[in-house]
Amino acid sequence: MLNEFARAFPYPATPDVAPGVLMRVAERPSAPPPGAWRVRLTTAVLALVGLAAATLAVSDGAREAVAEFFGIAVEGERIEVLPTPIAGLPTPFPEPVDIAERARAVTPQEARDAVGDELVGVPGREPLAVYLLAPGQAPVVVQRYQGFDLWQVRTNGAPNFEKGVIDGRVVEEVTVNGTAGYWIAGGQRLVTFLDAEGTPVAGTQRTVLAPTLLWHDGERYLRIEGIGELAEALAVAEGVR
């Protein structure tokens, strides 16, 4: 009976996806190779959720970028495109909080020991402070520079990075030193650490207002938070060593 049931199963009519596929294939001939980030970008934990206010106009490019981000480029990171909230209704997000209030100030050596990696840096600039966050699976070092924070995580293969973005948030695919990266901007987002099982860690939610540039360098996941313009963020990111 199973076979009989299966053969008579009422599938919807198959849509012709060929035009859409071919259009996307033609538009994106130089997409980053699948798997380039797949293994490496599987560390730290974040969830970004946009708010209703200041929702930006949705461009096809932004949607595409979200889809990309969600898929091939950052497998292991969870990026959820959330439904747009109803305008005017309150959203129960916490007040923005400085990461320094959630992190422990450490010395550079303590930070190196914690992440098991050399700290990257921005040539010509000295960090004002170094913080360590370790509520999730992988410890995160945040170096505070004048005007921005530089996040560094050494990946360990475990998928524990989750991001949620409102459909319509600006998510732009960029290249940092030849590696795929993403620029996320436009309104508030929520950041949540997850544990090794992928479960949100209670008390770690943090509302983020600043634009963020994400990229990867070898086995490091890097993130600049706080630079308002993409060009400037890219210039800083490309100098990070």
Partner 1 sequence: MQPEQDDAGLIAATKDADTAAFGVLVRRYQEVAFRTAYLIVRDAGAAEDVTQEAFVRAHRALGGFRASEPFRPWLLRIVTNLALNEVRSRKRRSGLLERMGFAVGSGSAPAPEVIALETERQRMLWRAICELPEDDRVVLFLRHFMELPEREIAEVIGKAPGTVKSRLHRASERLRGVIEARYPTLKPASAGGEEHG
Q: Does 231 bind partner 1 (CB under 8 A)?
A: no
Whether 189 and 205 have beta carbons less than 8 Å apart is answered as: no
DSSP helix/strand/coil, 40: coil
Whether 140 and 153 have beta carbons less than 8 Å apart is answered as: yes
Q: Does 20 bind partner 1 (CB under 8 A)?
A: yes
Q: How far apart are CA 217 and CA 17, in angstroms?
A: 35
Q: Are strands 179-185 and 206-208 parallel, antiparallel or unpaired?
A: unpaired
Given 34, 157, 218, 239, the residue binding partner 1 (CB under 8 A): 34
Q: Does 24 bind partner 1 (CB under 8 A)?
A: yes
Q: Does 2 bind partner 1 (CB under 8 A)?
A: yes
Q: Does 197 bind partner 1 (CB under 8 A)?
A: no
Nearest to 185 by CA among 166, 204, 201: 166
Q: Does 124 bind partner 1 (CB under 8 A)?
A: no
Q: Does 57 bind partner 1 (CB under 8 A)?
A: no
Given 36, 56, 58, 67, the residue binding partner 1 (CB under 8 A): 67
**Site track 146-175 with partner 1 (rule: CB under 8 A), x = hit:** ----------------x-x-----------
76 alpha carbon, distance to own chain's centre:
11
Q: Smaller CB distance to partner 1: residue 152 or 188?
A: 188
